[in-house]
Structure 1
Amino acid sequence: MTLVQLEYIVAVDTYKSFVQAAEKCHITQPTLSMQIQKLEDNLGVQLFDRSHQPVTTTEIGQEIVMQARIVLAESYKIKEAINDRNKELAGELKIGIIPTVSPYILPKIISRFMEKYPQVKLLIWEQNTEQIIQQVKLGMIDCGILSTPLQDAALIELPVFYENFVGYVSKASKLFKKKHIAADEIDMDELWLLNEGHCMRNQVLNLCQRRKNNRSAQQFEYNTGSIETLKRMVDQNNGATILPELALADLTDKQLEKVRHFKEPEPAREISIVVARNYLKRRMIEAMKNEITELVPKRLKTKKRKDILSI
C-alpha cells in the first residue's frame, strides 16, 4: 500500500469516475486502474463497483477511503512543517465562497493578498453553501467562506465578522415612511428573495418567521441568485428586499434613501472561514482570515447587540 494508491482511490471516490480521477491525478486511466486493482488485490476487498455509472464506492470501500483521507492529510502535514520552517507561504489555496459575500470582500482582498504572499496561488470558486460544505469535506477545496453557524460536527468554523441585515424598500412600500423597521412589519407579498440554495434566503425567511409568501397570485415568479438583481427589482418594480450591510458601500445617495435599519437587536449573519477537522494549510488560511479582518469595518468585528440568524 502506497500514498499514491491512496490518492488514487480518494480521487475516484471524489469524482465517481476513473477517467476524471486520472485527469485530476495527471496520469493515464489505465495506470490509475492498475494501481487501484493492485491495492484491492493486496487488501483482498473490492473498493469500487465498476458496473455502475457513475462509479460507486462499496461499503468497505467507503471505510477505507475515509481512512485514506486521514492518512493523506497527516502525510501532507510533513510538507507543512517544512514550509513553516522556511517561514514562507507557498502553494495553492483553494477557496469556495458564497455569492452574497464575494462581491464585497474579494475585489479588495485579492490584490493585497497576492502582493503580500507572492508564492501563494489563489483558486476561488463562487458556490452555494451546500456545494462548499461538500467540497470542504471531500478535500476538493481547502476552506469555505460562508455564513455560519452550520452545526456540522465534521467542520470547524473560524468566525471572521458579523454583518447586519438592512431593509431596502421602494418609495411605494409602507416601510419607506419608517425610520427603523421590525421583522413583523415586513409584507412577504412585496419581498424579493434569493432563490433556493442560498443560505441568505433561509436567514431572511427565519427573520420573517417563515410567513407564507402569496406571490404565486401574481403574474410571475422570479428566481435570482444575485443581490444586485434584488436591488434593481426594488428600484424598478417597487417592493422591498433585505441586504447585507457590506452591500451598502456600492449604493448611490439616491439608493441610500431607501435603506432602513432594523430596530435593536439588529438581525445579522456570522461570516466564517470553514474548514475540515483535519484541515491543512493552516498558515495560509490564517493569513486569509487576517486579511479579511483587516478589511472589514471595526463595528463588524463584534457580535455585540446583534441577533445572529441561523441558516
Structure 2
Amino acid sequence: MTLTELRYIVAVARERHFGRAAEACFVSQPTLSVAIKKLEEELDVKIFERGGSEVSVTPLGEEIVRQAQSVLDQAGAIKEIAKRGKDPLAGALRLGIIYTIGPYLLPELVRHTIEKYPQMPLMLQENFTVKLLDMLRTGELDCAILADPFPDAGLATAPLYEEPFMVALPAGHALASRTSISAEELKAETMLLLGNGHCFRDHVLEVCPEFARFSSDAEGIRKSFEGSSLETIKHMVASGMGVTVVPRLSLPREPSPHLKFVPFSEPIPTRRVVLAWRRSFTRYEAIAALRNAIYACELDGVKRLS
C-alpha cells in the first residue's frame, strides 16, 4: 500500500469517475485503474462499484476512503512541520470562498496578504458552500470562508464578521427615498433572487419566506426571477425589473445613479461569516495570518467578531 494509491482512491471517490480522477492526479486512466485494482486485491475488498460510466463507493469503501484521507493529511502534516521549522507561513494556502463573498472581499484581502505575508500566496477557489465543504473534507482546500449556517462537517471554525442585509431598488422606486424598509413591505414587490445552490438565496428566503413559493398568482406576489450572480441581479434591478436583497459588503464604493440601497428596519437581518478548516490541518499560523489579513480589510458596515 502506497500514498499514491491512497491519493488515487480519494480522487475517484471525489470525482465518481476514473477518467476525471486520473486527470486530477496527472496520470493516465489505465495507470490509475491498475493501481486501484492492485490495492483492492491487496486488501481483498471491493472499494468501488463499477457500472458503465457510473462509479460508486461501497459502504466498506467509504470507511477506507475516509481513513486514506486521514493518512494523506498526516503525511502532509509531516511536510508542514518541516516547513514550519524554517518559516511557519511558507507555502501556498488553498482558500475557498463562496460566490457572494469572493468578489467583495478578495481584492482587498489578496492585497493585504501580499503585503503582510508574501511567502504565503493564496490559491483561490470560488464555489458553492456544498462544493467547498466537500473540497475541505477531501483535502483539496486548506480552509474556506463561508456563511453560517452550513452542514456540520466536523470542521474547526472561527468567526470573522456579522454582515447586515440591504434592500436594493431602482433609483426611481417609491421606496428608494426611505430611510429603512421592513421585510413585510417587500411582499408586494417583484423579487429578484439568486439561483439554486447559492446559500445567500436561502438567507433571503428566510427574510422573505413568501418568495419561496414562486407562484405568480400568490397573494401579494407578482412574480420572482432568478439571476446567476449578485452583480447580474443588481443590473436587473437598475433596469427596473424588480428589487433584491444584498449583503452590505456588496455595495459599490461610489454611488450609482440607477440604484438605491436602503437598510432594513429592526430587526435587521444579517449573516455570520466564518473561516472553516479541517481539525487535522496543522498550519495554525497560516490560519491566524489569514484572519489578520481579513481584519485588515475595511469591511465597511459590518461587525467584526473576535
1:272 aligns with 2:268: no
Letter in 2 for 1:260: V
Deviation, 1:221, is: 6.2
- 1:81–1:298 Cα change, 3 Å: farther
Aligned counterparts of 2:262 and 2:300: Cα–Cα separation in 1: 21
- 1:178–1:294 Cα change, 3 Å: same
Partner residue in 2 for 1:94: 94
Contact 2:248 2:301 in 1 (8 A): no
TM-score by length of 2: 0.86
Pick from 232, 237, 245: which aligns with 1:234? Answer: 237
1:193 aligns with 2:193: yes
- Single out whichever of 163-172 and 294-303 deviates more from structure 2: 294-303
Partner residue in 2 for 1:70: 70
Deviation, 1:298, is: 7.3
Deviation, 1:165, is: 0.7
- 1:42–1:8 Cα change, 3 Å: same
Partner residue in 2 for 1:262: 264
- 1:170–1:102 Cα change, 3 Å: same
Contact 2:98 2:145 in 1 (8 A): yes
- 1:188–1:153 Cα change, 3 Å: farther
Aligned counterparts of 1:150 and 1:111: Cα–Cα separation in 2: 28
Partner residue in 1 for 2:131: 131
Deviation, 1:245, is: 0.9
Partner residue in 2 for 1:103: 103
Secondary structure at the counterpart of residue 234 of structure 2:
helix
Unaligned runs of 5+ in 1: 305-311
RMSD: 2.8
- 1:170–1:33 Cα change, 3 Å: closer
- Higher normalized helix content (fraction of residues): 1
Deviation, 1:104, is: 0.9
Aligned counterparts of 2:258 and 2:305: Cα–Cα separation in 1: 27
Deviation, 1:251, is: 4.0
Secondary structure at the counterpart of residue 119 of structure 1:
coil
- 1:3–1:238 Cα change, 3 Å: closer
Secondary structure at the counterpart of residue 91 of structure 1:
coil
TM-score by length of 1: 0.85
1:1-311 alignment, distance < 5 Å: 1-211=1-211, 212-215=213-216, 222-237=225-240, 239-252=242-255, 254=257, 258-297=260-299, 300-302=302-304
Deviation, 1:139, is: 2.2
Secondary structure at the counterpart of residue 289 of structure 1:
helix
Secondary structure at the counterpart of residue 193 of structure 1:
strand
Unaligned runs of 5+ in 2: none
